[in-house]
Amino acid sequence: MTAGWQDKTWGEIATLEYGKSLRDYIGSSGKFPVFGTNGQIGWHTEALYEEPSVIVGRKGAYRGIHYSRTPFFVIDTAFYLKPKMNFDTKWAYYELLTHDINAMDSGSAIPSTSRDEFYSLDVRVPSIKEQRRIAHILGTLDDKIENNRKTAKTLEAMAQAIFKSWFVDFDPVRAKMAGESPDSICKRLKLTPEILDLFPDRLVDSELGEIPEGWGISPLGDLIELAYGKPLKAENRTQGRVPVYGSNGIIGWHDVKLVNGPGIVVGRKGNPGTVIWVEGEFYPIDTTFYVIPKNGVGLRFLYHALMRHDLTALGADSAVPGLNRNLAYISKQLVPHANLCTAFENLTEILFLTSNNLKKQSMDSIEIRDALLPKLISGDIRVQESTLQIEDTLT
């Protein structure tokens, strides 16, 4: 037994309290997060529990462990943890992540977490000071992961906003038509004079409605090829740094690439029509297409353009939902002048690259956290109080 740690069961140190039914939590302007079995699902004007704590999924095929650092509300598909003794709730969250909650089934028709099984779980309880040190180490990594996620999302939203302004709303063209001065347009829309000069000053009628003068309209099939991914079963993969993509995103890793990045993956089967940007080399499996650009159109422009096509609606006539690429090929796409597309590529490249670097940093942090978590919780690795340095006590 690790010195100073107590062997307990969860039933000795805490109870699982039932959540309550709640309506109108989605889209609410309340300040208290609302949790269900799989995490936060909305907001409410009142809290059910006034302290930070752990939320444990109660109903459903997959039931998760979640943490709220503020007062919160829990609906009736989940429990919340109420201490019977003094412990750090963030440490409790990490300790519970080491257990398989979904294996604690009550045996009812709907998969449900058994409180009796939960209460019988063994837990090794360090001193409150060491609990806080463990929570600090793991929480710092989680904070970095979350901050990187938010920043990456903001950068992606910035690129989307530029695409919409230039190629959907035609803001620079409309500003010119309204007689706004070039200096004012550049300042308001954050353009350089050189980029502003690439936009025409008129809109003309077309089969897609009003479009900037001189811009073209092409079928997607003239701009891209949707190439088939290749089969790669899990048992045939060799663990490496190449992400393997299915129609829902990354499904594993391999040591051999199929496609050089950057690239675009499009869902073909199972979740058809999804559009995923990939910065580095990757391996798309046979439930996906990957995009091969034609006629010099940039990948970043194509990515945002494809996001605006309703590819999901272009289903193949088969039992399994799928994307019919021939229908996708005949969809019409507005095509600006090549030099304007190039300007968009150059302007957004740094946003894409920075976002990707943040995601890589998060992946590294996740690996570190997942490796540390069981060792810190078990006491195999101890954290010194003075420096919060990790001391490995394995012999």
Would you place residue 394 in the very low, low, confident or very high pLDDT band (cuts 50, 70, 90)?
very low
pLDDT of residue 390: 46
Q: How far apart are CA 248 and CA 288, in angstroms?
A: 9
Helix (H, G, I), strand (E, B) or coil at 167: helix
pLDDT in tens, 272-331: 999 999 999 999 999 999 999 998 899 999 999 999 999 988 876 566 678 999 999 999
The answer to whether residue 389 scores a pLDDT higher than 60 is no
DSSP 193: H
Q: What does the pLDDT average to over 345-351?
A: 95
The answer to whether residue 375 scores a pLDDT higher than 80 is yes
How crowded is residue 65: how many other Cβ atoms within 10 Å of its Cβ?
A: 19
The answer to whether residue 386 scores a pLDDT higher than 60 is no
Q: How far apart are CA 284 and CA 213, in angstroms?
A: 38
pLDDT of residue 318: 61
Helix (H, G, I), strand (E, B) or coil at 300: helix
Higher pLDDT, 312 or 231: 231
pLDDT of residue 25: 78
How crowded is residue 28: how many other Cβ atoms within 10 Å of its Cβ?
A: 16
pLDDT in tens, 131-148: 999 999 999 999 999 999
* pLDDT, the chain, mean: 92
Q: How far apart are CA 40 and CA 227, in angstroms?
A: 38
pLDDT in tens, 251-263: 999 999 999 999 9
Distance, CA of 65 to chain centre? 18
Residue 64 amino acid letter: G
* Region of poorest pLDDT, from 14-28, 171-185, 361-375: 14-28
Q: In the numeric block, which tokens belong to residue 186? A: 């550049």
Would you place residue 218 in the very low, low, confident or very high pLDDT band (cuts 50, 70, 90)?
very high
pLDDT of residue 66: 97
pLDDT of residue 210: 97
pLDDT of residue 60: 87
Q: How far apart are CA 275 and CA 163, in angstroms?
A: 16
pLDDT of residue 395: 35
- Closest by CA to 293, choosing from 270, 259, 269, is 259
pLDDT in tens, 6-59: 999 999 999 999 999 998 777 667 899 999 999 999 999 999 999 999 999 999
pLDDT of residue 316: 63
**How much of the chain exceeds pLDDT 90, in percent?**
84
pLDDT in tens, 60-72: 888 999 999 999 9
pTM: 0.82
Q: Are 126 and 4 in contact (CB under 8 A)?
A: yes
Q: How far apart are CA 173 and CA 91, in angstroms?
A: 56
How crowded is residue 268: how many other Cβ atoms within 10 Å of its Cβ?
A: 29
pLDDT of residue 392: 43
pLDDT of residue 23: 83
The answer to whether residue 81 scores a pLDDT higher than 80 is yes
